[in-house]
Structure 1
Amino acid sequence: MRGRGSISKTLVATLAVFLVLVLIFSNSFPAEKLRKSISSEYLPKAKEIVSHPSCGDVHSLERALECYLNDQTAMKELGNLALQLKGKDVAESAWNVVEWEDSHISYDSSKSPASPIQRPIETVQRGRGICVDYAVLTAALLIEMNYSPVYVLDINFSNSPTGHAATAIRINGTYFVLDQHPPVMDLGTYWKYWAYWNNGSPRGNLEISGAVVYEVKKVDGSVTVRSVGKLTAQDFLSEDYSFTADDAHRVVVDLLAVLLKRHPNLHLDRKISNLDESKILPPGYSSGKTWMFSFPLFGEYYNPVFHREFVDYVYRNIASKPSLVEDLKSYSHVWVKDKLGENGKLVVIINLAK
């Protein structure tokens, strides 16, 4: 079963008033594939697929994790990829993994859930798999990065007989789920994603009723797998971060810092802070422009643990507009601010003038 698909960004409106041009864009999470590039030299070649008869054909998630992640030859084949995806900490590394999977692995809708679970290297080389294949690969990459323990969730739904599997990590006692595509989500967001926002699923919206949690732990070079309990629907919903105005402001402040660093010609200028509202340039300026970017559900997905990654997501969406990049180079004054909309919508407003 597929998790999430990419949602295209839509140009909403273009408005010109006096000398100020206002451009409005809407960007939905999950993002289009604005991903960090991974050199092909880190990707194992398809011809390198090796059969490991000691494991045989594995259908059990617990058995697949235990057998495949203890196969030193198979794990070594993931080493270069894990090395390049590893970030400064587990949060950045986890985000890098799901970004890479989003760009390089496709959901294999032709594969039967009753088929054997693929070895991690098979999923990489074939470039496709189903949820258990993604989960095993994700856990293997994190273990290869020396993050331990990691967790795998065997998920049940109240309104579907077919379950799901996804990997999770714990940071400061809170679970975060890695499921095929960014963003990484806390449990409450993940529950709401399946119940309300997973419109791309052929099965429609689903309600998580619970999950068995497997701990995958590396000790003295060996990986152990054990069930450490169950999560109820209420457990999922109890871990749901609430986005605040302070969070939105922090995102915009750090976004502005990135813009100023990458475009040293720009100077922060409070005099154009209301350019988007007045549509009239202050005295002494020859031209101005306002860009508005709308991110529906941003606040629903946001968690401060992944603040850097969310700021980077916003910047890369903005930087994907060549005309805006040209404006950032040609204008000399800037002001950036935010507005909060319904259902966690974040609006980023960039005022430019010269």
Structure 2
Amino acid sequence: MKRKIVLQVTQLLAVFSNGARRKLKILCGNKCIALSKRAEEGLVMRKPVITSLGVVLLVLLGVLASACIQRDSVSTSSAPSPTVSSLPDGREQETTTTESLDSDGDGLKDESEIYVYKTDPQKADTDGDGLNDGVEVLETGTDPLKSDTDGDGIPDGEEKEMHLNPLSADADNDGISDYDEVFVFNTSPLRADSDSDGLYDPEELSNGTNPLVPDSDGDGLTDGEEVLKFYTDPLVNDTDGDGLLDGVEVETYYSDPLSTDTDHDYLPDGYEVQIGTDPAWDWRYSFDEEAVKAGLSKLLRSRVHGLAESFIVYNSTLDRAWAILEWIDGNIEYNHTKAEYVEEEVQYWDTWTEDAKLRYMNLTRLQAANDTAFGLHSGICGDYAFLTAALLLEANISPVYMLDIDYWNESIGHATVAIKVNGTYLVLDQHLPFIPLGNYYWYSIHNMKKEIENATFYKVEVDENGEIKVSSWTWTGTRLRGMAYTMTEEDVRLVQNLAKQLLVELYPQYKEDARLRASAEADFDSLVESGEFSHHFLPSGFRKGWSLASWRYLGWYYHPVIAKKLVMSYWPRKALEDEDWIEVLEVSDKYYLKLWWTGDKIEVAARDGSSWTVPELLLALEVGS
């Protein structure tokens, strides 16, 4: 069997000079000859000590020439073909030429690796990126000579494992490199919006929001909703600072997260929720429980607190409430124009456009207590009611009762206020004096020409925190009229005695003198019969004297609970303080007073035929000196 010497090409080239290399290439017919240190039979070739470089070269050239001649004689085709060689144990093996050899098993021929891809045929993964050269060339299209083809900082193999695109530095095209997404921000390199909140990751990073949390500020709205839809601050959970989370405003109360007071009713949205009113509805558009809660809230009452403090100097509830109603009576005017708007609104509502309706609603809506007291100085029944109740509560009178009254066959109702003293409801309706609740039913028929069908009561109490508690019920007009109080003879005598007491308090010089009794009684009888004073002479001992008289249907307002307050503050006080009377009373010091029914009366009938009578009182006063 022929021996075949195989030497490493690299060893050969290391020995030859450049010229020898060229000569070797020519002799071998430009073919690469695999040479090794060990012959195929296993014989070891040891280099002798070379004493002459020329001898060695001649020997080598001869060997190579012989090998080339032998090879050419074996193969007549230029295509690679297998050859047979012997192993030391006598077996034969087939050897393939380098043109079809894949030394590193990477799927690429060595020849292609060397001349085409410039990769290392001895390394399956030339660039060490975790992908074989063949995979990079034939499958992924990546550069087998660059461990990070797209230059994003992540080796191609890792990108493949993470299902990224090793040919794109930004797989999701969100403006952040895959490397930064994976190793810096922990966002998803495969999703432009990692948290699916409607904002791309770079937008979130720019805004300062968390690209991994859909709702960065935890307010119930996604960052995308805040930025793109509601224009709220995705980093502040209560953008307008009204005490409500943005999400709660939008999804629960339908209020504006950009406005502290969505309905512009003087109450912040968060405060309205706290007191149980609707932050998206202006309480001034209707008289109901919500309006009572809002209009008499601690916040709005505080705006008239300074005024209310001036009434706290009065000790009793009656005196304090009287002073409040007296101030209102003297400082607030009835707004007849606004009342006409209300009538027009009711009459033409169904024919109006939405714009017209809104315009009239704004013209007729309720007023806050401070607006009535300090801004407008006028109002209609509902405005009077809220101002009166606010002042009463701030003057430490609690509870108070807001009354929403409906009349028979009337589209427009009425609003007023009541307090309760010793079990008796007293109505405070814009002007003095108070009117007992039952009497108010008949008073409405006679003076307002309207009969109460029913009245809804809103009981308003102040709690320990200064806020109010509201409870409500409705009474029929029939129940109300059953509470009416009719004066008795005993009541008339009480009023007469109180009148005498008042006269002396106002004019301390006075003493009751029985000598004037006959004159007073004569005048009383004459006034009842003819409306004129009697013609009589002064009793002996008097140098001068005067006759005074005053009439009143006091029964409208009378109740024993307020008898003294009526006399001392209403009638006959107003008569005793009349300018004409003062001029006479100041120059006298003796008096006699008779106060009794005249016999005239007002009879009021209800729609069902029931009736009530109010008698007339006459005060005849004789004074002299």
Whichever structure has more strand as a proportion of its residues is 1
TM-score range, shorter chain: 0.7 to 0.9
**Partner amino acid for 1:306?**
I
| Residue 586 (structure 2) pairs with residue 329 (structure 1) | yes
- Contiguous gaps of at least 5 residues in structure 2: 1-263, 273-280, 343-360, 523-533, 602-614
Aligned residue runs from structure 1 range 8-157, under 5 A: 52-54=266-268, 57-58=282-283, 59-61=285-287, 62-72=289-299, 74-86=300-312, 87-111=314-338, 112-113=341-342, 114=361, 115-125=364-374, 126-157=376-407
Partner of 2:559: 303
Identify the range of structure 1 (330-339 vs 278-287) with the bigger mean alpha-carbon deviation.
Answer: 278-287
Alignment of 1:244-283 (within 5 A): 244-276=488-520, 277=522, 279-283=536-540
AA of the residue aligned to 1:322 = E
The residue aligned with 1:174 is 424
- Do 1:91 and 1:305's aligned partners in 2 also have CA atoms closer than 8 Å? no
Is the deviation greater in 115-124 or in 79-88?
79-88
The aligned amino acid for 2:492 is: A
Amino acid at match of 2:389: A
Runs of 4+ in 1 over 4 A off after TM superposition: none
Residue 57 of structure 1: how far off its partner (Å): 3.0
Cα pair 1:209 1:233 within 8 Å, conserved:
yes
- TM-score scaled by structure 2? 0.45
Residue identity opposite 1:298 in structure 2: L
Aligned 8 A contact 2:550 2:572 in 1: no
The one-letter amino acid paired with 1:206 is K
Contact 1:57 1:117 in 2 (8 A): no
Distance in 1 between the 2:437 and 2:329 partners?
A: 20
Q: 1:211 to 1:51 in 2, by over 3 A?
A: closer
Moved more, 310-319 or 138-147: 310-319
Does 1:163 find its partner at 2:389? no
1:185 matched to 2:457? The reply is: no
Q: Secondary structure at the match of 1:273?
A: helix
SS of the counterpart of 1:182? coil
Distance 1:53 1:217, change over 3 A: closer
CA-CA distance at 1:315 after TM superposition? 4.2
CA distance in 1, matches of 2:412, 2:596: 40
Larger RCO: 1 or 2 (CA < 8 Å, sep 6+): 1
RMSD: 2.1
Return the alpha-carbon distance in structure 2 between the equivalents of residues 244 and 163 of structure 1: 33
Change (3 A) 1:161 1:51: closer
Change (3 A) 1:109 1:225: farther
CA 1:155/1:289 → structure 2, altered by over 3 Å: closer, same or farther? same
Identity in percent: 30
- Using the TM superposition, give the Cα deviation of residue 223 of structure 1 relative to its aligned residue in structure 2, in angstroms: 3.0
Q: State the distance in 2 between where 1:145 and 1:188 align.
A: 26
SS at match of 2:320: helix
Task: Look up the SS of the partner of 2:467 in the other structure.
Answer: strand
Distance 1:164 1:138, change over 3 A: same
